[in-house]
Copies of this chain bind each other. A is one copy, B any other.
Amino acid sequence: MELLRDFHARGWVSGTGGGICGPADGGGLLLAPTGVHKERVQTDEFFTVDPSDGHVVRSPANDALRPSECNSIFCLTHRRRDAWSVVHSHALGAVLAGDLAADAGRDHLVIRDLEMLKGLPGVGNQDVHLVPVIRNTPREPELVEQLTAVFDDPRFKDSYAVLVRDHGVYIWGKDVWEAKRHTEVYHFLFEATVARRDRHSEDSR
């Protein structure tokens, strides 16, 4: 719980969007409420949901709060990737990285030639790492169908992230500390790949 709040303090979920979930003491998944300024979330405002189907096990005392729209996505990621913590970021670098894939007519981003890839379990700095990119939809739960296809796709079995075009990225880990590390790693990888592509497109003209 304290770790989750530290997460917020560090600004990975700043702004009006973004979200995070983590393991609850009793085996459930803690989930932040929606529509709340993320840096002001109180300890007693989190929901606890059953990760097998997303139903709310424990609600905060404040009746006005609703669980984050990310609930169905977080639970799907938990079941398919054994993730106990998922970060949803709206970083500009993630949006621009999604643009790169679309500009190239691909359903994924290609990341290569970066030492930082070693920050992901089972990935080496000589690997060509593919991150899937899905289309944005009016509401987040509607992303579930595309996400299911991505989790079934063997090309993406080593990825700990899914980019959503025009939107941001979901990044996960087996616990909150691994999710934190993957979040730092992927944001660097996105920024480096975008910066290099900008320079490369200039050179090749």
Chain A interface residues (CB < 8 Å from chain B): 14-17, 37, 90, 92, 95-96, 99, 103, 113-116, 118-119, 124-126, 136, 138, 164-168, 177, 180-181, 184-185, 188, 191-192, 195-196, 198-199, 201-203, 205
Contact = CB atoms under 8 A, between A and B. Distances in A.
5 tightest A-B contacts by CB? Answer: A115-B167, A16-B119, A113-B166, A16-B181, A15-B184
B92 A115 contact: no
22 contacts: A15-B188, A17-B115, A17-B116, A17-B119, A37-B180, A90-B188, A95-B192, A96-B195, A99-B199, A113-B136, A113-B166, A114-B166, A114-B167, A115-B166, A115-B168, A124-B138, A125-B136, A125-B138, A125-B166, A198-B199, A198-B202, A202-B202
Contacts of A17: 115-116, 118-119
A163 to B, nearest CB: 12
Given A192-B95, A205-B205, A37 B199 contact: no
Contacts of A90: 115-116, 188
A186 to B, nearest CB: 11
A188 B177 CA distance: 27
A62 to B, nearest CB: 16
Contacts of A198: 199, 202
Contacts of A113: 136, 165-166
B96 A16 contact: no
